[in-house]
């Protein structure tokens, strides 16, 4: 089953490689992984999407928690949550296609952020399935490049994945 | 302890007279300017103001530089003497300006470090210079960095205190890696300091540069790189804290050379805690109560205790709990000594070469209490056939060990000793005892398995030495009270089977990683920690050659080890597997060009004895054990074809054992 795990990590050189190294050393899957500093510059937020049986995911959580650089870990899969991913897609847009691609982009609430006389670059945000659907729609056209950010997520409601009070 | 040669350039810590004389004799052109010496403008006044020689020569350069250097020496020795006053005992209550190298040594001292195992090289020369000028931290010079890590490991396993290692960058770090991984697999607290090239050279493929943080990452509990001398003391403190708390393990600290030259004030940091690291100590009381309720109802209870009991100093709690239960107890290879081997409740080691009674009890038990053990594949065999009838309680300090290999019903995440203390209290609080009749029936069954005498071998043989006989005799002559280190292979299994450990921390071996070459350097660490104890290294002619160079270290520090070399001219365990599973195709397991071990020992300055008849075994061991002040290398020429029994083939179940007598499935 797919799990989305939110991790607060010490913002130190090598912390990312500890997480990545753990996954390769123990043979776990990583579907996507994003990481950036938080409002506290000493902490990074990592959002990791993985999959496996419940036993495997249980081990993944425990092994991640065991890393000394991991400050806090929450499996968002257990909660009502919001997931977002950003897509930047560059697609060939010539002749009649230009209007059609513009309309498709509007339907998906995408934004055209760069234009040449032969191509559009479109920005689209949503959950993974929405991005998949948009790419599928454009599949029949000539897609020049696809860039996806990887999934980020946050729990709904008042609970927050922040460091425990000291 | 031996120091460097008496002639080389010496750093005089209480004044600089002899050095000035020496420098004058050499003349200016070849003055070795100390690497730490900076240009005068970088100097700061010492606590007594500028040294006179520096003041007097401020405006001059060239030939006068030598005087500046001498002045620096004097100035440095003035400031250093504050850092290394004889008999300094305070723990970091005074702020001092010290170099990184000096802080390093002071920190080790304040941390209570007795021995530092290491090998010098370019990147750690400042540190070695600081070591030279003090006597509190004793440095043990090994002959290969792998030996340093194993020696520190042996020290740690036999004392419970962290082992400390210092190696240089590049090959120093890579050579130590095997020792670090060995400690990691067995959860041994080590703090390993690796030198690193200067900060500005990192990433340039500089001479002797290796990414020590990167290559050690998968086999350390944690590692740190020091990027600023002001962080050094706190990082060292954290390293010791992380290595020794929770589930222990090795921690690497990588220190670039320039950091050890930079100066800052020093105070011993009081608080080593990390916000992201909070090891658990005590288990959930609810889980402990549930465990007590389950255990007290057991008809066929079984206790399976591992290295966590030894590491957690929980042998007394285990012994008390098992005796209260009246249940059979087995130890893993790492757990031997955690429960007294001569106690009638002990059924021997379990697993691949465990006893018949231990493995059959595992297979048939109805409640299994696992303490400080991680259900390793060499213990469980086929997981589908593992403890098919048992409800399992698992006590472990590492949450990741729970449910990793085997699903368990009750998990108690706690230090082993605290958990067993609380569990015993909870058991007593139930007011009930285990069903006496059921327990008697269970023991009748176990004693039937015991009667198979799975460890029997050809004791009557008078022609060829049986390796088991050597170990039985060693056990008898040392009354079970020696420290036994071992290498890896058949001899390791025989030592585990035939030497009955009644006390923890007496059995020192590489269980998880299975590192050949571990035994001799580990014995060095054990003997240093226990100078009056008998320390025997049980090894084989293949393993011993992997770190044989440490015989030289033993000579330098006069370590009276007893090396029990079971020499069968084969990599015995490889040969055994080739016999069983490769139709006796002995591919590269025969050692054809062995050295004369007696002469080899003698050339290192030790005594050597070769024994090839069973009737000489006892006399030779007695002779060696009687030599209290020298190392004796005993080369026992043993039966080439002896196999380790009982044996569970990899992937078989506990009830599918091969016994020596029938070679059939039990």
Tell me how far CA of residue B29 lies from CA of A44, B10, B64, B74, B263, in angstroms.
55, 19, 11, 21, 29
Chain A CB within 8 Å of residue B505 CB: no
User: Measured between beta carbons, which residues in chain B are less than 8 angstroms from residue A45?
Assistant: none
* Pairwise CA distance, residues B371 & B102, whole Å: 43
| Phi, psi (rounded to 5 degrees) for A82 | -115, 130
Which residues on B lie below 8 Å from A71 (Cβ)? Answer: 275-276
Burial (CB < 10 A; 0-12, 13-18, 19+), residue B71, is: buried
A40 near B CB under 8 A: no
Interface test with A, best of B400, B401, B403 (most A CBs within 10 A): B400
Query: What pLDDT is stored for residue B659 in this prediction?
Result: 86
Question: Are the C-beta atoms of residues B205 and B197 closer than 8 Å to each other?
Answer: no
- Phi-psi domain of A93 (left: phi exceeds 0; alpha: psi -120 through 50; beta: other): beta
A8, A44, A68, best to mutate vs chain B, most B CBs in 10 Å: A68
Select which of B185, B571, B573, B657 is catalytic. B573
CA closest to B399 among chain A residues: A62
Residues of A in contact with B403 (CB under 8 A): 55, 58-59
Cβ atoms within 10 A of the Cβ of B152, count? Answer: 35
Q: Do A21 and B218 touch (CB under 8 A)?
A: yes
Chain A residues in contact with B218 by the CB 8 A cut-off are 21, 25
ipTM of the complex: 0.92
The whole-angstrom separation of Cα B546 and Cα A51 is: 43
Provide the number of CB pairs (under 8 Å) joining chain A to chain B: 40
pLDDT at A13: 86
Chain B residue whose CA is closest to A164: B275
Is some CB atom of chain B closer than 8 A to the CB atom of A63? yes
Residue A166 sits at the chain B interface (C-beta within 8 Å)? yes
Q: Rounded to an integer, what distance in angstroms lies between the CA atom of residue B382 and that of residue A15?
A: 36
Token code pair at residue B211: 């990414």
Let me know: does B485 contact B543? Beta carbons within 8 Å: no
CB contact, 8 Å: B218 with chain A? yes
pTM for the model: 0.87
- Which pair of tokens denotes residue B318? 């285990």
Q: What are residue A5's DSSP bridge partners?
A: A48, A75
φ, ψ of residue A31 in degrees (nearest 5): -85, -45
Which DSSP state fits B274?
A: B
Residue B279 touches chain A, beta carbons under 8 Å: no
Cβ distance of A62 and B221 shorter than 8 Å: no
Angle, in degrees to the nearest 10, between helices B617-626 and B467-477: 40
Interface check A42 vs B, CB under 8 A: no
Nearest to A18 among B217, B275, B398 (CB): B217
Please give, rounded to a whole number of angstroms, the shortest distance from the CA of B579 to a CA of chain A.
32
Which two tokens mark B440? 């008697």
Q: Which residue spans within B313-409 are E strands per DSSP?
A: 329-331, 346-349, 367-371, 391-396
B270 flagged as catalytic: no
Is A68 within 8 Å of B274 when comparing Cβ atoms?
A: yes
Tell how strand B96-99 and strand B115-118 pair up. unpaired
The per-residue pLDDT for B661 is: 65
User: Shortest CB distance from A71 goes to which of B222, B223, B275?
Assistant: B275
Residues in chain B: 666
Closest CB to A59: pick one of B242, B274, B404: B404
**Whether A62 and B225 lie within 8 Å, measured CB to CB:** no
pLDDT means over runs of 10, chain B (666 residues): 39 34 34 38 40 38 39 42 42 72 97 98 98 97 98 98 98 98 98 98 95 97 97 98 98 98 95 92 95 97 97 98 98 97 97 95 97 92 90 96 93 97 97 96 97 92 96 97 97 98 98 97 98 98 97 98 97 95 95 96 98 97 96 97 92 86 47
B286 touches chain A (CB under 8 A): no
Alpha-helical regions (H) of B326-380: 356-364, 377-380
Q: Is B208 a catalytic residue?
A: yes
Tokens for B338, please give them: 């955690």
Do residues B237 and B102 make contact, with C-beta atoms less than 8 angstroms apart?
no
Q: Looking at beta carbons, which residues of chain A come within 8 Å of B213?
A: 14
Residues in contact with B233: Cβ distance below 8 Å, sequence separation at least 6, in sequence order? B103, B107, B266, B267, B268, B269
Instruction: State the Cα–Cα distance between residues B362 and B43, nearest whole angstrom.
Output: 70
Closest residue by Cα to residue B597 from B610, B579, B584, B615 = B610
Q: What is the 3-state secondary structure (H, E, C) of chain A?
A: CEEEEEEEEECCCCHHHHHHHHHHHHCCCCCEEEEEECCCCCEEEEEEEEECCHHHHHHHHHHHHHCCCEEEEEEHHHCCEEEEEEEEEEEECCCCHHHHHHHHHHHCCCEEEEECCCEEEEEEEECHHHHHHHHHHHCCCCEEEEEECCCEEEECCCCCCCCCCC
Quote the CA–CA distance of B287 and B461 in Å, as a whole number: 53
Q: What is the pLDDT of residue B18?
A: 35
pLDDT of B650: 83
Q: CA geometry: angle at B388 spanning B387 and B392, to 5°?
A: 55
Cβ-count burial of B348 within 10 angstroms (0-12 exposed, 13-18 middle, 19+ buried)? buried
Quick one: A45 exposed, middle or buried, by C-beta within 10 A (0-12, 13-18, 19+)? buried
Q: What are phi and psi of B161, to 5 degrees?
A: -95, 160
The residue annotated as part of the active site, out of B221, B257, B263, B562, is B257
Task: Tell me how close the Cα of A114 comes to any Cα of chain B, in angstroms.
Answer: 38
d(CA A98, CA A81): 36
With CA atoms as reference, the chain A residue closest to B279 would be A66
Starting at the edge strand found earlier in the chain, the sheet holding A70-75 runs A32-37, A43-51, A2-10, A70-75
Assign B37 to helix, strand or coil.
coil
Q: Would the CB atoms of A21 and B217 count as touching at under 8 Å?
A: yes
Does B573 qualify as catalytic in the annotation? yes
Q: Does B280 touch chain A (CB under 8 A)?
A: no
Sheet with B329-331: list strands edge to edge: B346-349, B329-331, B301-305, B367-371, B391-396, B410-413
Confidence at residue B638, expressed as pLDDT on a 0 to 100 scale: 97
Q: Count the alpha carbons within 13 Å of A107 in the hemisphere toward its beta carbon.
A: 12
The rounded distance, in Å, linking the Cα atoms of A63 and A67 is 7
Chain A nearest CA to B487, separation (Å) = 27
Whether B217 has its CB under 8 Å from any CB of chain A: the answer is yes
Q: Which of B218, B276, B399 sits opposite A71 (nearest CB)?
A: B276
Q: What is the pLDDT at residue B82? A: 41
């Amino acid at each position: 089953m797919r799990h989305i795990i939110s991790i607060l990590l010490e913002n130190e050189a090598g912390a990312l490689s500890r997480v990545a190294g753990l996954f390769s050393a123990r043979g776990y899957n990583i579907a996507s992984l994003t990481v950036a500093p938080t409002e506290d510059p000493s902490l990074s937020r990592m959002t990791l999407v993985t999959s496996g049986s419940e036993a495997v995911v249980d081990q993944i959580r425990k092994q991640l928690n065991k890393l000394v650089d991991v400050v806090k870990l929450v499996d968002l899969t257990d909660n009502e949550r919001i997931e977002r991913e950003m897509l930047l897609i560059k697609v060939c847009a010539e002749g009649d296609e230009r209007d059609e691609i513009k309309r498709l982009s509007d339907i998906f609430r995408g934004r055209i952020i760069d234009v040449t006389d032969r191509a559009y670059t479109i920005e689209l945000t949503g959950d993974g399935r929405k991005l998949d659907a948009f790419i599928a729609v454009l599949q029949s056209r000539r897609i020049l490049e696809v860039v996806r950010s990887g999934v980020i997520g946050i729990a709904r409601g008042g609970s927050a994945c922040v460091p425990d009070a000291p | 302890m031996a120091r460097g040669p008496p002639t080389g350039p010496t750093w005089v810590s209480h004044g600089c007279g002899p050095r000035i004389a020496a420098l004058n004799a050499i003349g200016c052109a070849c003055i070795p300017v100390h690497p730490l010496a900076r240009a005068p403008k970088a100097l700061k006044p010492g606590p007594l103001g500028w040294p006179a020689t520096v003041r007097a020569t401020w405006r001059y350069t060239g030939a006068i530089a030598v005087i500046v250097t001498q002045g620096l020496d004097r100035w440095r020795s003035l400031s250093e003497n504050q850092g290394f006053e004889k008999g300094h005992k305070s723990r970091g209550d005074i702020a001092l300006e010290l170099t990184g190298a000096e802080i390093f040594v002071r920190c080790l001292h304040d941390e209570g470090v007795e021995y530092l195992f290491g090998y010098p090289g370019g990147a750690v020369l400042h540190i070695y210079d600081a070591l030279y000028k003090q006597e509190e931290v004793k440095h043990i010079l090994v002959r290969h960095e792998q030996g340093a890590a194993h020696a520190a490991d042996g020290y740690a396993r036999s004392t419970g205190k962290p082992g400390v290692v210092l190696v240089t960058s590049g090959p120093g770090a890579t050579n130590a890696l095997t020792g670090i991984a060995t400690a990691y697999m067995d959860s041994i607290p080590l703090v390993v300091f690796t030198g690193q090239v200067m900060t500005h050279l990192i990433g340039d493929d500089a001479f002797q540069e290796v990414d020590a943080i990167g290559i050690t990452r998968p086999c350390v509990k944690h590692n740190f790189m020091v990027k600023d001398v002001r962080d050094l003391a706190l990082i060292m403190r954290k390293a010791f804290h992380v290595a020794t708390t929770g589930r222990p393990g090795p921690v690497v600290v990588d220190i670039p050379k320039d950091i050890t030259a930079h100066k800052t004030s020093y105070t011993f940091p009081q608080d080593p805690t990390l916000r992201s690291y909070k090891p658990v100590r005590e288990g959930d009381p609810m889980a402990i109560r549930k465990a007590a309720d389950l255990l007290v109802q057991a008809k066929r209870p079984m206790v399976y205790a591992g290295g966590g009991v030894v590491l957690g100093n929980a042998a007394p709690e285990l012994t008390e709990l098992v005796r209260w239960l009246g249940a059979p107890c087995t130890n893993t290879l790492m757990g031997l000594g955690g429960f007294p081997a001569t106690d009638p409740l002990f059924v021997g080691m379990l697993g691949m070469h465990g006893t018949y009674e231990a493995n059959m009890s595992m297979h048939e038990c109805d409640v299994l209490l696992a303490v400080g053990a991680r259900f390793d594949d060499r213990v469980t065999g086929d997981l589908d056939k593992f403890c098919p009838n048992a409800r399992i309680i698992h006590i472990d300090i590492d949450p990741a060990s729970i449910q990793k290999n085997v699903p368990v019903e009750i998990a108690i995440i706690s230090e082993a000793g605290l958990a067993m203390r609380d569990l015993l209290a909870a058991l007593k609080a139930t007011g009930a005892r285990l069903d006496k009749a059921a327990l008697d029936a269970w023991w009748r069954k176990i004693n039937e398995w015991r009667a198979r005498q799975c460890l029997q071998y050809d004791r009557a043989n008078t022609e060829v030495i049986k390796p088991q006989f050597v170990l039985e005799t060693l056990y008898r002559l040392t009354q079970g009270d020696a420290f036994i280190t071992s290498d890896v292979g058949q001899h390791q299994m025989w030592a585990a089977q035939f030497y009955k450990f009644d006390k923890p921390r007496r059995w020192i071996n590489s269980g998880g990683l299975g590192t050949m070459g571990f035994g001799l350097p580990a014995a060095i660490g054990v003997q240093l920690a226990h100078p009056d104890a008998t320390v025997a290294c049980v090894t084989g002619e293949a393993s011993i050659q992997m770190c044989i160079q440490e015989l030289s270290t033993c000579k330098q520090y006069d370590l009276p080890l007893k090396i029990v070399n079971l020499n069968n001219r084969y990599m015995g365990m490889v040969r055994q597997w080739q016999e069983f599973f490769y139709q006796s195709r002995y591919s590269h397991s025969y050692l054809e060009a062995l050295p004369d071990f007696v002469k080899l020992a003698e050339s290192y300055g030790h005594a050597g004895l070769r024994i090839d008849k069973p009737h000489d075994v006892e006399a030779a061991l007695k002779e060696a054990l009687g030599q209290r002040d020298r190392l004796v290398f005993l080369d026992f020429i043993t039966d080439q074809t002896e196999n380790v029994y009982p044996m569970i083939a990899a992937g078989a179940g506990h009830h599918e054992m091969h016994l020596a007598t029938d070679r059939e499935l039990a």
